[in-house]
Amino acid sequence: MQRFQQTLAAPVELEEVGIFSGQKVRIVLEPAEAGEGVTFVLEGVSGAPRIPLRPEHVLGTEGATVLSDGYHSVYMVEHLLSALHGLGIDNVVVRVFGPEIPLFDGSAEVFVREILRQGLRLQPALKRYLEVLRPFEVRNGVGCLRFRPAPEFRLRVRIAFDHPLIGEQILQLTLNPLNYQKELAFARTFGFKEDLLRRKEKGLLRGGDLSNALVLDESRVLNGPLHRPDEFVRHKALDLVGDLFAAGIPFRGEVEAELSGHRLHIEALKNLLSAPGVARLSDGLAPVAFFFLAPKKRSFRAHY
Ligand SMILES: [Zn+2]
């Protein structure tokens, strides 16, 4: 369990065509002060509005997670948020020069690789967590999310698709930065050919092609091979890790997700936070204790 907050050791710059807009989108991740959390700055909009990552600024839709202050939005934030949450990064400024976060290969691998290439920096402040205090369940049609108290971030994800390559898949994992890199970061999003063609015809996926997602027809992956046979459920877990970071601080507890998606993840998180006595934001120690416990400012490169 990490004790101290972390930020980036140096800025990280990424650029790619966005799948919704078809435009080239650049994002720059910059270090931020301890306690600042995650802030998005919309550089493509006049006045460059700042949107702090907080539950009230996040919407879950069927296909993506959206950050919005009610006036301006950034689409597809989930895989970037997943990489930040998975690597244990607390404080960062995300400058976005466009309407969405690029999808790259549909996984979190590019974010993880480029962030770790620059390295992380520990900060002299104890980490805060969103802690689950009591069991809590949220249902939405067939989908369900169950939360339970746990001393670490544990997840269990189950998906079921009527497709010969997917079927029922279950993944159980204790999440820490190493497990995240090894077990989840590489897992690509997936879609069905018919669905993608329909959406492309409607002009909804201007930049989407076979490099942004695993695409399936009735029996096989058109752009395989799979990294693992259960890459599909691993991607769902990657999405869940990203969506739970909509709280703005890391999650601590057990979460079980059945047949869920972004909409349910975000709705469940908001319900968890607003239900009395079910979750709390843990406090750090008193400032005097920081003085003795905090490490000297140092940078390190994590292994990838
Ligand atoms: Zn996803």
Is 239 annotated in a binding site? The answer is: yes
Q: Which domains does the chain have, with CATH numbers?
A: 4-300 (3.30.1700.10)
Distance CA 51, CA 31 (A): 16
Q: What pLDDT is attached to residue 189?
A: 94
Q: How far is the CA of 63 from the centre of ligand 1 (A)?
A: 8
* Model pLDDT for residues 168-177, shown as the tens digit of each residue: 999 999 999 9
Is 235 annotated in a binding site? The answer is: yes
The strand pair at 38-42 and 299-300 is best described as: unpaired
* Model pLDDT for residues 27-70, shown as the tens digit of each residue: 999 999 999 999 999 999 999 999 999 999 999 998 899 999 99
Residues by chain with Cβ below 5 Å of ion ligand 1: 189, 239
Q: How far is the CA of 290 from the centre of ligand 1 (A)?
A: 37
Spans of the chain below 50 pLDDT? 285-304
Catalytic residue among 72, 262, 265, 303: 262
Tell me the residue type at 181. Q
Tell me if residue 262 is catalytic.
yes
Nearest to 254 by CA among 180, 153, 131, 143: 153
Q: What pLDDT is attached to residue 39?
A: 98
Is 230 annotated in a binding site? The answer is: no
Q: Which two tokens mark 240?
A: 């869940």
Which residue bears the tokens 């290969």? 105
Q: What pLDDT is attached to residue 66?
A: 96
Answer yes or no: are the C-beta atoms of 105 and 23 closer than 8 Å: no
Q: What pLDDT is attached to residue 51?
A: 98
Q: How far is the CA of 81 from the centre of ligand 1 (A)?
A: 11
Q: How far is the CA of 76 from the centre of ligand 1 (A)?
A: 8
